[in-house]
Amino acid sequence: MKTHDANGEGQPIKAEAALAIYSDLPQPEKERFMVLVLRQAQQATNARMKVDSWHDIDTAFNDLDNETLSVSDAANYLSLSVTTVRRHIKAGHLTPDQHIGRNQLIRIGQLKAFKSALKRTRG
């Protein structure tokens, strides 16, 4: 983001100034802004890792086995619906490692093993 001086030349804006501008946005624009920022961050991450989907990201998770994902992110990773992931939790096929309020977090290593098992059973 750049500001323009009297000569019309762009100067980089500081993070604090950008936050002040963000704070003044109406709520729908804040949400849209965050979606754009997250989308751009995901694209940059994908470019760095040379992946373009959750299916190709398995190798990026090698060092993250003990990190956790929310049920929603786990569903994306497993290519399942959130409801189906919750059913697998209820059936004991997946075990949340953490609970933060009502949110369940599942360890990535467990999700990788479960995904491999799903692939084997589906053929």
Identify the pLDDT of residue 15.
83
At residue 53, the pLDDT reads 53
- Beta-carbon contacts of 107 under 8 Å, excluding residues fewer than 6 positions away, are 65, 66, 67, 68, 97
Q: Is 3.40.1160.10 the CATH number for 54-122?
A: no
pLDDT band at residue 59 under the 50/70/90 scheme: low
Q: For residues 78 and 53, which has the higher predicted lDDT (pLDDT)? A: 78
Domain segments of the chain: what residues? 2-49, 54-122
The pTM of the full predicted model, rounded to 2 decimals, is: 0.51
Q: Report pLDDT digits (tens) over 13-25.
A: 888 888 888 888 8
Taking alpha carbons only, the member of 45, 48, 112 closest to residue 74 is: 112
Helix 71-78 to helix 108-122 angle (10° resolution) is 40
- Per residue in 67-113, pLDDT (tens digit) is 889 999 999 999 999 999 999 999 999 999 999 888 999 999 999 99
**Max intra-chain CA distance, the chain:** 66
Arithmetic mean of pLDDT, 27-41? 81
| Cα within 13 Å of Cα(20), Cβ side | 5
| pLDDT of amino acid 48 | 67
DSSP H or E segment with residue 104: strand 103-107
Distance, CA of 48 to CA of 114 (rounded, Å): 26
What's the confidence (pLDDT) of residue 106? 95
